Amino acid sequence: MLLFSAAILLGLVVLVWSADRFVLGASAVARNYGISPLIIGMTILGFGTSAPEMLVSGMAAWGGNPELGVGNALGSNIANIALVLGFTAIIAPMTVHSKVLKREFPMLFLVIALAAVLMIDNQLSRIDGFILLSGVVVMLWWMVRLARQEQRAGKEPMEAEFEGEIPTDMPTGKAFFWLLLGLVLLMASSQLLVWGAVNVATYFGVSDLIIGLTIIAIGTSLPELAATVAAALKKEHEMAIGNIIGSNLFNILAVLALPGIIMPTALAPEVMSRDFVVMTILTVVLFLMAYGFKGKDGQINRIEGTILLASFVAYMVMLYFAVVG
């Protein structure tokens, strides 16, 4: 048991670090080859915080544990909203006024609705997986198109925010080194993490789904926590919220797709009746908090942050009683 716990801890630490190195190298390579900071920010940086979830989900499905990947996808979305944003808002209340976010929320609801239609039969088939994965291409095209329109109109300041996140003086050789090293360590650490998690689940007699919703989801949400807190402390509130919306979109479309593509599976009934419902409710709550009505800016204050954090604790308690009950 000690060995399995150490594998989870080491896997999480290396996973988070290697994801950061991978994104650093990838963004530097793209910058050196003349790709604009806006495109890099909307694609590579947006993808980067979901890289741990994608690798863990893929490795879990490849190893015959697809429900761990499903739990990781849904649990990470729940953790992103309730834990990450709740904790961040307590530290630094956030004001939201970007028009881009008001367009991304409908996209998030549309993606959630698509996933619900595909999974309502409690099956995650290969066709479902490919439909979800194709949504990634559509989403990236849509986001880049909108961002370029705003850029040409001089209305959207997000490129300046992305500019500060991308290294400007890293040699291409060094950038490729970090890119490849990050990718290799991402794969190795995700495999180690999955191995430890599956064995812990077996030891305690709990399902892969529960482990994915708890230990794995919280661990793979650490990059989002770091990125969101850092953005909020720098008063980049739209980027802080945008990190979460973008990550949740990637989690549904890419992370949830991988178990279906690699190992189609029947879902436990509680996936849709409990976990998917909690994720959807929290998304609606976030929308109501962050969206500015009647021309006013939305705000996530400390009280709302506390409510979100309390919701996450309540969900963890719910899962605990689901196990012991």
Number of other CB atoms surrounding residue 169 within 10 Å: 7
For residue 270, count CB atoms less than 10 angstroms from its CB and return exposed for 0-12, middle for 13-18, buried for 19 or more.
Answer: middle
- Reply yes or no on whether the pLDDT at 138 is more than 60: yes
Q: Average the pLDDT over 234-246 and give the result.
A: 78
- Reply yes or no on whether the pLDDT at 282 is more than 60: yes
Q: Which helix (H) or strand (E) holds 300?
A: strand 298-300
- Among 109-123, 132-146, 245-259, the least confident range: 132-146
Task: Pick the closest to residue 69 from 176, 181, 212, 218 (CA basis).
Answer: 212
Q: What is the pLDDT of residue 231?
A: 77
Report which listed range, 3-17, 32-46, 240-254, 300-314, is most confident.
Answer: 300-314
Q: Average the pLDDT over 270-296 and give the result.
A: 87
Which domains, ranges and CATH numbers included, belong to the chain?
2-324 (1.20.1420.30)
Strand 298-300 to 265-266 pairing:
unpaired
CA distance 57 to 73: 8
Q: What is the pLDDT of residue 32?
A: 79
- Reply yes or no on whether the pLDDT at 43 is more than 70: no
Q: What is the pLDDT of residue 284?
A: 94
Contacts of 186 (CB under 8 A, 6+ apart): 15, 18, 19, 22, 51, 52, 55
CA distance 271 to 279: 10
Tell me: the pLDDT tens digits for 212-239? 899 888 888 877 787 788 878 877 777 7
Q: Which helix (H) or strand (E) holds 65?
A: none
CA distance 234 to 296: 22
Q: Which residue has the higher pLDDT, 149 or 193?
A: 193
Q: What is the pLDDT of residue 135?
A: 92
Q: What is the pLDDT of residue 223?
A: 74
- Reply yes or no on whether the pLDDT at 98 is more than 80: no
Tell me: the pLDDT tens digits for 50-96? 778 888 888 889 988 899 999 999 999 999 999 999 999 999 888 87
Token pair, residue 57, equals: 């989900």
Residue type, 148: R
For the chain, what is the mean pLDDT? 84
Tell me: the pLDDT tens digits for 292-315? 665 566 788 899 999 999 999 999
Tell me: the pLDDT tens digits for 265-277? 999 999 999 999 9
Number of other CB atoms surrounding residue 89 within 10 Å: 25
Q: pTM for this structure?
A: 0.85
Q: Which residue has the higher pLDDT, 281 or 4?
A: 281
